[in-house]
Structure 1
Amino acid sequence: MAYEVVELSVRELVEFIMRSGSIDSRFGGFDRAAEGARIHRKLQKEAGEHYRAEVTLAETTDVKGFTFKIQGRADGIFEEDGIIVIDEIKTITRSLEDMDEDSRPVHWAQAKCYGYIYGSQQGLDFIDIQLTYYQIDTKEIRRFRKSFSVVELEDFYLALLDAYIRWAEMQRQWVEKRDQSIHALAFPYKTYRRGQREMAVAVFNTIKKSGKLFCQAPTGIGKTLSTLFPSVKALGGGMAEKLFYLTAKTITRQAAVDAFTLMKEKGLALRTVTLTAKDKICFLDERSCNPDDCPYADGYFDRVGDVLYEVLQQDTVFSRENIEAIALENNLCPFEFSLDLTLWCDAIICDYNYLFDPLVALKRFFIDEKGDYVFLVDEAHNLVDRAREMYSAALRKSDFLNLKRQLTKTDKRLKEPLNKVNQAMIDLRKSCPDSRSRISREELGDFNELLGFFCFACEDWQKKHPDHPAADAVLELYFQARTYLKIAEFYDEHYITTIHTYGSEVIVKQVCLDPALLLRVRLACGRASVLFSATLTPLEYFIAVLGGEEETPRYELPSPFDPSKLGILLADTISTRYVDREESYTPIAEMIAAFAAGKKGNYMAYFPSYAYLSAVYEVFGERFPDIRSMAQERDMDEAAREAFLEAFDAENPETLIGFCVMGGIYSEGIDLKGDRLIGTVIVGVGLPQIGDERNIIRNYYDDKQGSGFAYAYQFPGMNKVLQAVGRVIRDEADRGMVLFIDSRFSSSGYRRLFPPHLSHYIKVRNAEDVRQETRAFWNEKEENE
């Protein structure tokens, strides 16, 4: 009889079968894996030479047509008074006073599985199971021990496997159906676009070789389908277990949804789930993830299993709307339900943070061993700054002082550690020189320890004062402190600590200068990774900062579009440097008007800052009141953002010019095809605003490889420029123009950053030159037609 193989870790098995009760993330919901591993090693070392640490255990069991391969690592095995003891170590943030031997059935279950596997393999009759709890902040230890017969443990273990059978059978039937559909699936279009097949082959080979690929593929190749189609084929060929399509923005997430929809219309059977941020999908007006405040959290784990089993046999597309409908009908938290769906879906479409953010990452996939996962990182140029944000953390002294003022004399047990943190921040302020700031290349160990005691006090206080007026403030500051401590676990030579003071305010921030190593570790959680974008220029820079290595394969595709359909003008007679900007307002306004005079239509002009945009917009309005224009504003709500885009109608009876900010919501991710956008003006080289952190990054890369300015300013700036340029030509039928305005664009340092399809520019000196060249470009189009 042929048995279907099911491979699970002990943790996966017990957590899935034995979970029950409610969602409650008020306190103690932080993963402190690095610190936990350090504590494990400490306790294991202290246990002595007869203590065997990190013992790998595996058991193969045939049950009802399935071969279960269960594996895991026991924290420790030792012998005491002739009895073998399995030791399971757990680091916790909650008070040990609240723990009794039956507090965590899942912990016992995990250790009992280890006890059965070891006991049966060693021919034992009895074995002891010990749970060792270590309180992270107080360093207290509490142990519980029980004795079991191996026969008793075997019954328990087999009962877990038996409970899993229905899930295994459901998945076996699904995978058979899915793989048959993948084998029959052809590329969903009759032909490949130029470069599309080459990219698809490169992606497939990367997965086949369990590798990593950086790919620059200009707009028009069809990057999404070029990565998803070969990845789906690899899935059907047994080369992958699950696909993760990771994006920075909702609009690029939709491109993946559309590609999957297209393939499903061609016969593909695939379960897909799109994850939505917790705050966006929550049903409550104010999110509060605990059973006292949320009916969808109360008893969640008691209800979810049957609902999950039912919907997985009915649906294959789990969009936000579908998830919300199912969750409402069954009184389930929609966010937690979407996470549970990921265990059974073949493809997960989500934000970067579900892989890379240490606080948000999907621990059900990325906490233990690596899996056969494929990571498709879309618009990878966005990951640089996002990664630095994810791996940095800051605290403000005013938050601690404000909380202190909300507490009373009866809150002494919380006020004492709060006062110590507040005083420590005062001491840090005094340590700053006259510049009111300083940088430390070492982590603030003593300060971090005080934060740990503060967090422990918060947890203890909250349990005793759940209805206190300051409860929300305590919870908020607790999470901030825990975030800071989590980031402290990564602190090494790639970090610095900044201390800034403003009057009585003190801001302490752990700044991640170089996230490459941390990203490399996260990407190593899977089998293969493809990081792709239309703008990864220069590729060497992005490979260096996004966790690649010198030998990492890279692939650069040419634009599939006819270069003659994009007219490019370069005005290098105007300086947009900060000291010259005031003199540039009028000449730039005149050039924008001249650029739009060549043909009636929709245009966008991109600026490096809101201040620069506003100044030129004001001059433009005064000098050219008859030309319709509108400006992007700070903090536009969703309705305002959509209204702005909707104004760019292909049937506009008059010319429209939108003034926008480079690197903003209208400079990438939007798709204004055809006559919805026929030209863009690029004002300046897009350099990020000069600031302390940027200069620190500059100094770091100067020391590391002598490329500080390029890494901190020039390369990120040109990336924003190229993204804005990419708004003009979206498919082979499009035709349009680009006007670059800045004297620096003519320098060799910037010319080498222009991709080949943007190298055929014509230089212009003034507005009249611009007017003549634009008219010539559009007249040539009419003559050719």
Structure 2
Amino acid sequence: MTDIVQLSVRSLVEYVFRSGSIESGFRSASSLTDGTKAHQKVQKQYGELDRKEVYLSTEIAYRDLLFVIDGRCDGLLAGTADTVAGSQGLTIDEIKSTAGDLASIDEQSYPVHWAQAKCYAYMIAKEQELGSIGVQLTYVQIASEEQKRFAAELSFQDLELFMLELLQGYYPFAEQKRRHSGLRDASIKALQFPFPVYRAGQRKLAGSVYQSIADGRKLFAKAPTGIGKTISTIFPAVKAIGEGLLQRMMYLTAKTITRTAAEEAYVMLEARGLHMHVVTLTAKDKVCFQEEMNCTREHCPYADGYYDRVNEAMIDMLSQETLLTRSTIERYARKHTVCPFEFSLDAAYAADAVICDYNYVFDPRVQLKRLMEEHKRSTVLLIDEAHNLVDRAREMYSSELKKSDFLAIQREYKGSNSELQRAAKAVNDFFIAVRKEVGDSGVEVKPELPGQLLELLEIFVEHAQSELLAAGGREAGQLLDLYYAAQGFIRIGKLYDERYVTYVESVRNEVQIKLFCLDPSYLLKQNGKGFRSHILFSATLSPLSYYIDMLGGDAETDYSVVVPSPFSSEQLEVYMEPLSTRYRDRGHTRESIAVLIGKLTAKRTGNYLIFFPSYAYMNDIYELFTTQFTSTTMIQGAGMTENEREAFLAAFDADNPESLIAFAVMGGMFSEGIDLVGDRLTGVVVVGVGLPQVGLERNIIKDYFDGQGKDGFEYAYVFPGMNKVLQAGGRLIRSEQDRGTLLLIDDRYFQPRYQRLLPQEWKTADGGAPMIPEQYGNRDDSGRESFTRQE
């Protein structure tokens, strides 16, 4: 039986014909292959018999493979009286747009464009049994709408020969992919769950994931920390690939440390026989080989000639490796002298599984653009620590600009580019008018899009683009950054609806205007459309109704599962202390809190994590604690490097001769995704209920949801805050062997609003006795408040 290879015209011609170097750092808003408006303007000029956006498909056998190739041509133009005999006057029109000068484009500038047009011409000629057919390239200048055309008449024999040469170039990659698919499918069929038995709840979670994929539904899964959520979601998705339900899986994370957990799960499965290509995407600035990141052929040998070498590099890596981690990609990138970041992106389109940040799917600025709809339909999204996606999405779908940036460009280009200088001045003048309206230290919130500002930005972008094209993007860092910021603002402006507000902050000479997304649920749903299934999972999707609402779910049609904790109550001692940690009370209770931490950590030698809602509060208690106690301590620093983070975690040694007390912040790098199993962690203290700091944006969110008939205070403050508490406390019990003590310090833990958000295992123990103090204000000999546990 001949194996079938399905691919698009664009994928085929880009693989074979792309060549040359990675472009410079500046890329205009409208590339040569992305100009919808320009396409539409050309198509409006078509005659009555001409057709646009024509879907075409063909089958071609080459060697031992059957290629099924499809695509959509821009135009199929009807014939005229003076056309070549045998062509019936039909012409394929391929439209390309550019922000550059049309004079710089000649007939042979872009062979890939001719290749695309020839593919469509072959399909039509074959379908209609034509002896020849016309082929036309139409280039459109975005700003001027000027057009430039190149045309040719090609025989069917020439087109057929061209297609065979095209497939000859693609065949090595297709053959490698076929061999791999055979090995992958056979390995999945034989693959067993990588542990002798499922933990309690694991089978339920894995079964729910598989069923959701089979049914093509979203699943919201709340499963406790330590249950093994990563393997319980990856394993059934792998099995779904083996059953033909999927072709690809994407494991989306918010933090590097959870990315590592996913990599380790695939390593575990590979050790048990799995053969899959799994690629990890790492941020560009982290993998760049150069001291200064400058993506031009003049400055970077890995960018120079990248497309001439990447196909060979890809086949080499995919033939030899399966787990394409950062180190593996870097090794092959150096071997073949290709950019490691672009190489990883190209590998992602060829891989069976991708581990990456949320933004590669949900952020319109950086999402994987070549992930076509047909690929999405056979892809599942595994969204780890999904509670993080709410605030991350707000960031993705918001945009802000500052007055000072436009003033700087206005001054820089005075005398050298008068049009750009005037455009920047017009935007700066708009900011000045806004400052006069709100005052030097004022705030204004409006539910309307600033239409005048967007019009001025369109003009600024046009002139900035011309300047950047002339300069090649070099020596223009400040302008380049502002160009992209203005483009981002315009892009977000097109998404603006009733879920947005515009707010202005004026402080002295600076004015900031922000398009602020209050409810990202609709945009998350839109950007996630087309994928077969979404699996959103976390230990802290509580309350579940809130996260279904905020993450674009539908309570009526989407699936949900709540997995109970697999751990026994004897593993965890929970204490609560009713001391106020509210900002106004911190001066009165900080000494008592420091003493509580000292007393808890003195009870048993071990390693302790103490979590605070802010750096300032943490530093304050840390200073008090270290003056009263001689324990070994560590403290989380702002902006820690990867090496500093690893050193911090390495200090949690089960064999430490003395207690280690580490101070950290809730919601930071040490409160999620870390596994300190066994005796590496003895106790956790959570100071406060994690509420975000009261501020403008949080209050805007509160007011918005109040207006929607919901509890705005809970949506803006309580739910995000308690999520941090649950994550921090969840560091403690990670396996059946773990034992530990959890101390929660805040009087609000005794209020129903907060109590109902605590896990059941934090509320009861020892046969169901509630964990509450015997009495408020129980004092030790020093007069300080102590904590006790009601038996």
Asked whether the two chains share a fold, i.e. TM above 0.5, the reply is yes
- The residue correspondences of 1:372-411 to structure 2 (distance < 5 A) are 372-411=378-417
1:202 matched to 2:208? The reply is yes
**Secondary structure of 1:364's partner?**
coil
Instruction: Provide the residue aligned with 2:771 in structure 1.
Output: 762
* Among candidates 416, 427, 440, match of residue 421 of structure 1: 427
- Call closer, same or farther: CA 1:773–1:649 in 2, change over 3 Å: farther
Q: How does 1:194-593 map to 2 (within 5 A)?
A: 194-366=200-372, 370-432=376-438, 436-465=442-471, 470-550=475-555, 551-572=557-578, 574-593=579-598
Q: Does 1:683 align with 2:682?
A: no
Mark the CA change 1:497 to 1:100 in structure 2 (over 3 Å): closer, same or farther.
farther
Q: Is the 8 A contact 2:279 2:347 kept in 1?
A: yes
Partners of 1:325 and 1:767 lie apart in 2 by 62
Please identify, of 56-65 and 456-465, the stretch whose mean Cα deviation from structure 2 is larger. 456-465
In the alignment, which residue of structure 1 is the partner of 2:145?
140
The CA deviation at 1:291 is 1.0
CA distances 1:561-605 after superposition (whole Å, capped 9, x unpaired): 102211111223x22222222222122223222322322222222
Partner SS, residue 295 of structure 1: coil
User: Residues 403, 263 of structure 1: CA spacing in aligned structure 2 closer, same or farther, 3 A cutoff?
Assistant: same
Report Cα offsets for 1:476-523 as digits up to 9, x if no partner. 222222333333332222222222222222222222222212222232
Instruction: Say whether the 8 Å CA contact 1:515–1:546 is kept in structure 2.
Output: yes
Distance 1:629 1:210, change over 3 A: same
Q: Does structure 1 conserve the Cα–Cα contact (< 8 Å) formed by 2:473 and 2:480?
A: no
What letter matches 2:189 in structure 1? Answer: H
Q: Name the SS of the counterpart of 2:416 in structure 1.
A: helix
For 1:130 and 1:421, how far apart are their aligned partners in 2? 42
Q: Which residue of the partner structure matches residue 19 of structure 1?
A: 18
> For the Cα contact (< 8 Å) 2:440–2:508, is it kept in 1?
no
What one-letter code is carried by the residue in structure 1 that aligns with 2:249? L
C-alpha contact (below 8 Å) 1:729/1:735 kept by paired residues = yes
Asked if 2 retains the 8 angstrom alpha-carbon contact of 1:246 and 1:378, the reply is yes
2:440–2:509: 8 Å Cα contact kept in structure 1?
no
**1:701/1:95 Cα in 2 relative to 1: closer, same or farther (>3 Å)?**
farther
Change (3 A) 1:546 1:695: same
Is the contact made by 2:26 and 2:473 (CA closer than 8 Å) also made in structure 1? no
The match for 1:780 is: none
TM-score, normalised by the number of residues in structure 2:
0.92
| Residue pairs, 1:77-96, within 5 angstroms | 77-79=76-78, 81=80, 83-96=89-102
Aligned 8 A contact 1:365 1:371 in 2 = no
The 5 Å alignment of 1:589-600 reads 589-600=594-605
Deviation (angstroms), 1:285: 0.9
Deviation of 1:767 (Å): 6.3
Amino acid at match of 2:154: S
- What corresponds to 2:750 in structure 1? 746
Q: Flag structure 1 segments of 5+ consecutive residues without an equivalent.
A: 778-785
Alpha-carbon distance in structure 2 between the residues aligned to 1:321 and 1:287: 19
Going from structure 1 to structure 2, the CA distance change for 1:126 and 1:437 (only over 3 Å counts) comes to farther
Aligned equivalents of 1:140, 1:450: Cα separation in 2:
21
Deviation at 1:179, TM superposition (A): 0.9
Take 1:657 and 1:578, find their aligned partners in 2: how far apart are those partners? 24
Q: Which moved more, 1:736-745 or 1:516-525?
A: 516-525
Once the two structures are TM-superposed, the CA of residue 46 in structure 1 deviates from its matched residue by 6.2
1:698 to partner: Cα distance = 1.8
Aligned with residue 678 of structure 2, among 674, 678, 687:
674
**CA 192–466 in structure 1, closer or farther in 2 if over 3 Å, else same:** closer
Runs ≥4 residues deviating over 6 A: 31-35
Q: CA deviation at 1:31?
A: 7.1
AA of the residue aligned to 2:547:
F
Partner of 2:669: 665
Asked if structure 2 preserves the Cα contact closer than 8 Å seen for 1:595 and 1:771, the reply is no
Q: Give the deviation of 1:420 after TM superposition.
A: 2.7
Q: Secondary structure at the match of 2:733?
A: coil
Deviations 1:54-101 (A, max 9, x none): 322222222223222222222333436354343334444444454444
Is the CA contact (8 Å cut-off) linking 1:594 and 1:768 kept in structure 2? no
My pick for the range that moved more, 56-65 or 82-91, is 82-91
SS at match of 1:570: strand
Task: State the match for 2:720 in structure 1.
Answer: 716
* TM-score of the two chains, using structure 1 as the length reference: 0.92
| Cα displacement (A) at 1:771 | 5.8
Shift of 1:42: 5.7
Aligned length: 771
Q: Deviations over 1:392-437 (max 9, x none)?
A: 2222221222233333513334323233332333333334357623
Partner SS for 1:409: coil
Pick which of 43-52 and 70-79 moved more.
43-52
Structure 2 SS opposite 1:107: helix
Q: CA separation in 2, counterparts of 1:34 and 1:442?
A: 33
Q: Give secondary structure in 2 for the equivalent of 1:343.
A: helix
Matching of residue 652 in structure 1 with residue 661 in structure 2 = no
Q: Quick check: 244-253 or 275-284, which moved more?
A: 244-253
Cα pair 2:360 2:368 within 8 Å, conserved: yes
CA contact (8 A) 2:33 2:97 kept: no
**TM superposition shift of 1:473:** 2.3
Equivalent position to 1:696, from 695, 700, 704: 700
How far apart are 1:3 and its partner, in Å?
Answer: 2.0
Tell me how far apart the structure 2 counterparts of residues 743 and 723 of structure 1 sit (CA, whole Å). Answer: 19
Q: Quick one: distance in 1 between partners of 2:245 and 2:312?
A: 31
Q: Any idea what SS the aligned residue of 2:72 has?
A: strand
Question: The residue matched to 2:76 in structure 1 has which SS?
Answer: strand
User: Structure 2 vs 1, CA of residues 739 and 756 (structure 1 numbering), >3 Å: closer, same or farther?
Assistant: same
SS of the residue 1:730 aligns to: coil
Query: 2:636·2:665 contact (CA, 8 Å) conserved in 1?
Result: yes
What are the equivalent positions in structure 2 for 1:147-226 lying under 5 Å apart?
A: 147-151=152-156, 152-226=158-232
Alpha-carbon distance, 1:727 to partner: 0.9
Partner of 2:767: none
Q: Which moved more, 1:538-547 or 1:86-95?
A: 86-95
In structure 2, the residue corresponding to 1:403 is in which secondary structure? helix
- In the aligned structure 2, how far is the partner of 1:80 from the partner of 1:418? 49
Which amino acid in structure 2 is aligned with residue 401 of structure 1? L
- Any idea what SS the aligned residue of 1:489 has? helix
Q: Which moved more, 1:323-332 or 1:595-604?
A: 595-604
Could you tell me how far apart the structure 2 residues matched to 1:667 and 1:249 are?
11
Percent identity reads: 46
The 3-state SS of whatever aligns with 1:603 is strand
Question: Counterpart in 2 of 1:63?
Answer: 62
**What is the identity, as a one-letter code, of the residue corresponding to 1:556?**
V
Partners in 2 of 1:134 and 1:428 — Cα distance? 38
CA contact (8 A) 2:448 2:502 kept: yes
Q: State whether residues 25 and 289 of structure 1, in contact with CA within 8 Å, keep that contact through their aligned partners in structure 2.
A: yes
After TM superposition, the structure 1 stretch with the greater mean CA deviation from structure 2, 144-153 or 703-712, is 144-153
Query: Which range moves more in the overlay, 67-76 or 150-159?
Result: 150-159
- Report the alpha carbon displacement of residue 176 of structure 1 after superposing the two structures with TM: 0.8
Which moves more between the two structures, 124-133 or 271-280? 124-133
Contact 1:273-1:347 at 8 Å conserved across structures: yes
Preserved CA contact (<8 Å) 1:94 1:456: no
**Distance (Å, rounded) in 2 between the aligned partners of 1:710 and 1:46:** 55
Taking only aligned residues, the RMSD between alpha carbons, in angstroms, comes to: 2.6
- Per mean C-alpha deviation after superposition, the further-off stretch among 121-130 and 588-597 is 121-130
